[in-house]
Structure 1
Amino acid sequence: MRAVLAEDSLLLREGLVRLLDEAGCEVVAAVDDGDAAVAAVVEHHPDVAVLDVRMPPSFTDEGLRAAVRIRSEVPGTAVLVLSQYVEQSYAADLLATGAGVGYLLKDRVAALEELTDALRRLVEGGTVLDPTVVAQLFAGRRARPLQRLTEREREVLSLMAQGRTNTAIARMLFITPKSVEKHVSSILDKLDLPPSPDDHRRVLAVIAWLDDPDT
């Protein structure tokens, strides 16, 4: 995998370069702000862009805004956003760009195998969300509840929002993969998401859940 990295702290940037190298990524550019990240992705067309959320000049949500721009200007580029905090601004906009996006807290990517697995899933078109990110995005939303989903379907959709596969969901909920498939099919039907060659229905279901949690 080829990667562009954006991190304003020199020490963290160098550390992430080495960590990404150990995870099997060739870092083709390592920059320190969002605009430079977008420019590097446009130039190099990497498989994945890894961005810190808080970068110059305001140190608020530059990384998220850059991630949304990258998805718009170079469609198909996987994006992994890393942060010490959950920034709700632009997070939904990033998720709305479709499959291949991730948001992880830095404390959760200390293990090399976890980072490697996250990058692989993103490049393959998956979605990777830290459970804490999911929970805080739920809490920060006010919208209509998804009254048509059962409690079990909510559990399945919550794990889908974390980027889990059907096999992983089955293992975590102690049910069979076939049962998960049935729950996912029911969820998609209840959310009025028919099959479409243009849409990633699992991602659309996650966005619907984030926009309309039953709190």
Structure 2
Amino acid sequence: MRVVVADDAALFREGVARLLTDAGFEVTGKVGDAQALLELVRADPPDVVIVDIRMPPGFTTEGLDAARELRETHPGVGVLVLSAHVEPHYALRLLDSDARGAGYLLKERVTDLGELADAVRRVAAGGLVIDPGVVAQLVGRKRVDDPLEALSEREREVLSVMAEGRSNQGICERLFLSPKTVEAYVGSVFTKLGLHQGPDDNRRVLAVLAYLRR
């Protein structure tokens, strides 16, 4: 699998590239700004782009903007945006109603090679990846007449893992539950929140995120 890494910090960029190489990925490009990233992808599209949310020259949302542009111009290229901070509004900007092959991960997760490799593979396969820290903030925020209060503690756990972009099998593995038990919890969560499960895992995740962002 071919991956491009974009980050203005050379040491971080080289570190991520080394981790990916050790995990069996082919790093085909390393760049330090969003414009160079766009030009590189146009010339030789990879399977996945990993990009810092803040890039030169303004260090605001250049990386995020580049990721969103690539989703439009190169829909077959997965994009994984990295951030140093939990910023749910940026994560949600990356994911719209047609989102596929996109993810938002905190930079601190990159030190876990297994988690990084898993995120890259899921994005490359067209899945969605949301950092657990973002999900926790969305689930944990207080709202007037909060419908989440109707969920049991286990149902909240299932909802949180689901919102990260995990399939039912992924929920089974994370929470050590059987497939039938997970199916029951997922059905209960959607019933209590008045949501439709959708035809695929991405639709299910987008429905949950749309609900949590309200």
Does structure 1 conserve the Cα–Cα contact (< 8 Å) formed by 2:3 and 2:49?
yes
Cα deviation for residue 76 of structure 1 reads: 2.6
Residue of structure 1 in register with 2:36 after alignment:
36
TM-score (norm 1): 0.81
**For 1:158 and 1:139, how far apart are their aligned partners in 2?**
10
Report 1:87-98 matches (<5 A). 87-96=87-96, 97-98=98-99
Residue of structure 1 in register with 2:13 after alignment:
13
Residue of structure 2 in register with 1:201 after alignment:
203
Cα deviation for residue 211 of structure 1 reads: 1.8
Cα deviation for residue 159 of structure 1 reads: 0.7
Cα deviation for residue 142 of structure 1 reads: 7.2
Residue of structure 2 in register with 1:71 after alignment:
71
Alignment CA distance shift 1:175-1:210 (3 Å) = same
**For 1:188 and 1:78, how far apart are their aligned partners in 2?**
28
Aligned partner of 1:191 among 187, 190, 195:
195
Cα deviation for residue 103 of structure 1 reads: 1.6
May I ask how many residue pairs the two structures share in their alignment?
210
Residue of structure 2 in register with 1:128 after alignment:
129
**For 2:76 and 2:135, how far apart are their aligned partners in 1?**
23
Paired amino acid for 1:179? T
Does structure 2 conserve the Cα–Cα contact (< 8 Å) formed by 1:3 and 1:48?
yes
> Sequence identity of aligned pairs in percent?
51
Alignment CA distance shift 1:149-1:128 (3 Å) = farther
Unpaired segments ≥5 residues, structure 1: none
Where 2:109 maps in the other structure, the secondary structure is helix
Question: Are residue 45 (structure 1) and residue 45 (structure 2) matched?
Answer: yes
Residue of structure 2 in register with 1:118 after alignment:
119
Report Cα offsets for 1:113-146 as digits up to 9, x if no partner.
2222221222122222221122335568979955
Q: Which moved more, 1:178-187 or 1:146-155?
A: 146-155
Where 1:82 maps in the other structure, the secondary structure is strand
Residue of structure 1 in register with 2:83 after alignment:
83
Residue of structure 1 in register with 2:101 after alignment:
100
Higher relative contact order (CA 8 A, sep 6+): 1
Where 1:128 maps in the other structure, the secondary structure is strand
Alignment CA distance shift 1:172-1:30 (3 Å) = closer
Residue of structure 1 in register with 2:165 after alignment:
163
Paired amino acid for 1:115? L
TM-score (norm 2): 0.82
Does structure 1 conserve the Cα–Cα contact (< 8 Å) formed by 2:16 and 2:110?
no
Q: Which runs of 4+ in 1 moved over 6 A?
A: 139-144
Does structure 2 conserve the Cα–Cα contact (< 8 Å) formed by 1:64 and 1:91?
no
Two-structure CA RMSD over aligned residues (Å): 2.9
Alignment CA distance shift 1:120-1:145 (3 Å) = same
Report Cα offsets for 1:8-67 as digits up to 9, x if no partner.
112222222222211222122211112222222222221100001111112122211111
Cα deviation for residue 105 of structure 1 reads: 1.5
Where 1:200 maps in the other structure, the secondary structure is helix
Report Cα offsets for 1:138-163 as digits up to 9, x if no partner.
56897995569733444322111223
Unpaired segments ≥5 residues, structure 2: none
**For 2:123 and 2:73, how far apart are their aligned partners in 1?**
18
